[in-house]
Each structure stands twice: as C-alpha cells, then as structure tokens.
C-alpha cells in the first residue's frame, strides 16, 4: 500500500479517536501534566496513572527523552496509549530534532511490536515544550513517511491537530508530498 493512503489528518481531541493506539506527549515522570497529557489521563481514568507508575518503577525513575512505553487506555475508545517523551526546545542546538525524530520512531516501533495497526499522534513537543510548530510538523511528517515506507505493518497513522495553525501546517506538508 502506498504511504499516501496510510496517513490521515484530523482536527480535534485525540482522546476521542477509535484507533489501536493514541500517542501521548508525556513528560519523563509519566505523572501526567497539562495539555494533551492531562487530557489523556483524565479521559482514561486512574488506571493510566497506575500503569505509568509501574513503568517508571521498572525504568528506575524516568522514561528518557525520545523513548516510548505502552499502557492500556482505560475509559478511552482506543485500545492502548503509547507514552513518549518529546524534547523541550532549548534553542535548537541541544539535539532537539534528533530527539523528536526518535520519539516518533520509538512510538511507531512499539506499535509494531504490539501488533497495533492504527496509531494517532498529537503534535509532540509543540505545546508547553515550545518546539517551533513548522519544524516539528516537518519532522513528524518526514519521519512517519520514512517509517511507513520501510514497514508495511502499520495501516494508518493519524495526525491529530488540536490547533488551527498546526492543522494548516500539516495540511500543506501532506498535500505537497
């Protein structure tokens, strides 16, 4: 299947999507926070926090930037939540691009490892973490394209944008491919 048919763009609340996995833009502590992280924890209910704390204990205190971990999804309509930690923007010379690429790739690889075929991403790092939105969108679209062209298992990746400007950025990038 062509990559083009396997990428979809939607605008709205990622917690409502009926996909195999929703990706959470988490922080290293997996304790939940603001933005999409808070929305996912609220929608899923307490099981998410419990499972996140089990992961954190196993990891010895934190999930490193760029890595991903999986939990069930509690009361959300999706089956699993893949928690990944995007980089905090510190001016662009601290490996931010590389870590954002890694966050997308580790999430997709974890989905494949768990046999999950439909995955929805928020715009990782572009909220509280301050990554420039245009740069982040370019990285997200490029890396997802690259992964899908190397790997046939995943059937659909949905970019779920919450904000108009992010939606427009993604629309332009996806249409120009």
Q: Which residues are designated catalytic?
A: 37
CB of 50 to ligand ADP, least distance (A): 21
Enumerate helices (H) and strands (E) in the chain, giving the number of each.
Answer: 5, 6
Question: Contact with ligand ADP (CB under 6 A): which of 21, 78, 127, 137?
Answer: 127
> In the complex with ligand ADP, which residue's Cβ is closer, 2 or 90?
90
Which residues are CB-neighbours of 24 under 8 A, at least 6 positions away?
Answer: 36, 37, 40, 81, 82, 83, 84, 122
Question: Contact with ligand ADP (CB under 6 A): which of 10, 56, 112, 128?
Answer: 128
37 binds ligand ADP (CB under 6 A): yes
> In the complex with ligand ADP, which residue's Cβ is closer, 128 or 153?
128
- For ligand ADP, the binding residues in 57-116 under the rule CB under 6 A are 86
CB 83 within 8 A of CB 68: yes
CB of 85 to ligand ADP, least distance (A): 8
Size of the site for ligand ADP (CB under 6 A): 22
Mapping DSSP to helix (H, G, I), strand (E, B) and coil, where does residue 156 land? strand
Question: Contact with ligand ADP (CB under 6 A): which of 3, 10, 11, 13?
Answer: 13
In SS3 terms, 59-128 reads as HCCCCCCCCEEEEECCCCCCCEEEEEECCCCCCCCCCHHHHHHHHHHHHHHHHHHCCCCEEEECCCCCCC
Contacts with ligand ADP by CB under 6 A lie at 13-15, 25, 34-37, 39, 86, 122-129, 160, 162-163, 166
């Amino acid at each position: 299947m062509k990559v083009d048919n396997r990428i979809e763009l939607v605008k709205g609340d990622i917690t409502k999507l009926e996909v195999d996995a929703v990706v959470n833009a988490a922080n290293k502590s997996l304790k939940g926070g603001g933005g999409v992280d808070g929305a996912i924890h609220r929608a899923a209910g307490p099981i998410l926090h419990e499972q996140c704390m089990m992961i954190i204990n196993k990891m010895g205190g934190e999930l490193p930037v760029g890595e991903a971990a999986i939990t069930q999804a509690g009361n959300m309509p999706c089956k699993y939540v893949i928690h990944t930690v995007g980089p905090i923007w510190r001016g662009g010379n601290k490996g931010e691009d590389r870590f954002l690429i890694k966050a997308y790739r580790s999430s997709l690889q974890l989905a494949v490892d768990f046999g999950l075929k439909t995955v929805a991403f928020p715009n990782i790092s572009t909220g509280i973490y301050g990554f420039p939105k245009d740069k982040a969108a370019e990285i997200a679209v490029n890396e997802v394209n690259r992964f899908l062209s190397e790997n046939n298992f995943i059937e659909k990746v949905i970019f779920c944008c919450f904000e108009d400007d992010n939606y427009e950025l993604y629309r332009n990038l996806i249409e120009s491919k």
